[in-house]
Amino acid sequence: MDNLLEKLNEQQRKAVMHTEGPLLLLAGAGSGKTRVLIHRMAYLIEECGVNPYNILAITFTNKAAGEMRERVDSIIEVGSESIWVSTFHSLCVRILRRYIDRIGYENNFTIYDSDDQKQVVKEVMKRLDIDTKFIKERRALSAISRAKDELITPEEYCASAGNDRERAVIGRIYREYQSQLKKCNALDFDDLIVKTIELFKTNADVLNAYQERFKYIMVDEYQDTNTAQFGLISLLASKYQNLCVVGDDDQSIYKFRGANINNILQFEQVFEDTTVIKLEQNYRSTQNILDVANAVIKNNTYRKEKALWTENKEGEPISLRSFDNGFDEANGIARDIKSKVSVKNIKYSDCAVLYRTNAQSRTFEESFIRENIPYRIFGGINFYQRREIKDILAYLKTIDNAHDDLAVRRILNVPKRGIGAATVSRIMEYAVENDITFYNAMLHVKDIPSIGKAAAKIEAFTYMISSFRSKSTVMSLKDLVIDIINETKYIDYLKEIDEDEDDTNEREQNLDEFISKAVTYEDGAENPNLSEFLEEVALIADIDSMDGSDAVTLMTLHSAKGLEFENVYLVGMEDGLFPSYMSITSDDSTDLEEERRLCYVGITRAKKYLTLSHARMRMMRGETTYNKVSRFVKEIPVELMFSDSGARKSLARDFEMPSPKRENPVKKRTSYVMYDTVFDKPASAGSLGYAVGDTVKHVKFGVGTVTDIVNGGRDYEVTVDFETAGVKKMFATFAKLVKM
């Protein structure tokens, strides 16, 4: 253990060795937080004698949980398999599978994905005769999700509506939506956490059992937790208080998903006697990049003070590129990537283009195709959202849980069985009238009036499902999937509906990949079963599907969090685009601060090379717009940037050049002054036309007194004490000061 601790820096060692009571680790980007968590687990087991069975580690994605599991197993020789390493949702699924019957559900509940949820809301709104022109389905579902994130029940939501008609209508939808899910024995993703909290609050013995089980709890990416997740963790940790949360408030960028930054900012107020340890040493980026990140994020007021530093090389200045339009921007970035791959000896996969919105990817795709640059877009259609995969999953869901009305109805006529919409409508009416599921209504098809000849087709379908269900008890998952595809003649169905043979071939390849997934699951599962397999599929996030091919990554800034690249481009750095127009005009100042945190996240993805780019003119929503350079760019000391002449001209119009504030406590660094022949340095200080003590005028800051003039190498740095703007440092060439 001593050898392991020697590999940690001083703050990391403090974090590892602090084992009792609440602990808040403020871990800056690239500061080795996962290393700390792994070593802390090892320290608890090997030095403190803690039973691995009593340790719970929670993170947000399956990918992160898998990586943590691998690292735990590699460093802890005995007992690592007893540690629960899990996502929030996976943890709750395991608990609910065992105890959800205590709150009125069956233990083989189905997990609804986003498409399933939309379908339920659509049907609910139709049943309640709610005009979608007044309330959009997506808006209703978003409001329901936010309510669950805040642990607001349908009854509480309705009661709080008051005279707000929209809220009252959404409350009705919410109430009926939950009723429908209950009838189908289904939970959505938000319910997984909400229902676990409900279980704990209504069953003290169950809560106590898990409190005893998880005496030491560690939560990664704590800044991304919502109110419900905070409530879950608070319940689990309330008995022993041995809760260690790791996060960075400067990287809290998921407010739109319900993340509550107050969970980390106010952690010490909620958990008394909290110890706070800051991890500020960065192991990822050059000092230049970190200085840029520090300069931007310090402009936020709603944060905990910290500054990243590194023992890495100082590195190159970041590059600021200015282009006439968005197409030129994409072409310029494409050429720069090819140049770096050739000259800097980096791979395409070392490069990432990060943008604020998905719509920005189009021009880069076109440019990359023209330049023959391999690329991949991250955040496209998830594998499990493809039609052919969802169809087979619907069969598996129906076999596992016939209460799932959505799954049953999806496959009732896939492949086509001649069961018309009128027949489906009659079955649904019968189900509603008798308060039973759609599938149970089909089992009583002969009792449904006017069903006619369709009864035989329905009976054939239910017999087929019953047969598959029997086979599932003796077949492997692989054989079951193959049997479903063969028995339903699903490939023939694809050939009928696809106009292009290539589309069918691609779908067949996807089905082959799904079969491989089933095999991989069975090979790795201790007790493989259909329910668990469906859970694993449902919990897979987009980020889990990233491959290792040598291609440039195109992705949104939100998707980039947690990743790192040698060479990063932050494109579209313009006010109105990034930061967004909505955040600039918002009455809530925290919206702009979140945009700044998003910029900070983008900057700190870069290891060696960072380029910021903006276009003077851009086509948006079919119209040409002219935007100023992003205010975030203007917050970066010019000494840290290498700018092309166009970028310098854009900045010179309304941007003074402040001296960089030293954030690094370890070492000093060289300042870079970026000019070309467009801006010639004055021959001497005397040729400036003013001297120390003179009164001068600046176009923006007004009248002031020159207090200092320093030779900066390629220009003179002038310090002026302005009457209204205070003390400013600027370069003479840009300042254009006029003696009064």
Residues marked active site are found at 33-34, 220-221, 251, 605
- Contact, 389 vs 514, CB < 8 A? yes
Indicate if the alpha-carbon torsion angle 193, 195, 197, 199 is positive or negative: negative
- Contact, 721 vs 707, CB < 8 A? yes
CA-to-CA dists, residue 153 to 146, 148, 235, 559, angstroms: 11, 7, 19, 31
Could you give the angle at the alpha carbon of 366 between the alpha carbons of 353 and 289, nearest 5°? Answer: 15
List all residues 6 or more positions away from 405 whose beta carbon is below 8 Å from its beta carbon.
Answer: 183, 184, 431, 437, 438, 439
Give the number of other CB atoms < 10 A from CB of residue 52. 19
- Contact, 16 vs 8, CB < 8 A? yes
- For 416, half-sphere exposure in the C-beta direction (CA atoms, 13 angstrom radius) is 9
CA-to-CA dists, residue 348 to 297, 339, 378, 545, angstroms: 29, 11, 15, 18
- Contact, 642 vs 318, CB < 8 A? yes
List all residues 6 or more positions away from 339 whose beta carbon is below 8 Å from its beta carbon.
Answer: none
Tokens of 78: 């005995």
Beta strands per DSSP E along 164-224: 186-188, 216-219
What is the C-alpha to C-alpha distance for residues 668 and 650, in angstroms, rounded to an integer? 30
What is the C-alpha to C-alpha distance for residues 634 and 202, in angstroms, rounded to an integer? 54
What is the C-alpha to C-alpha distance for residues 58 and 405, in angstroms, rounded to an integer? 32
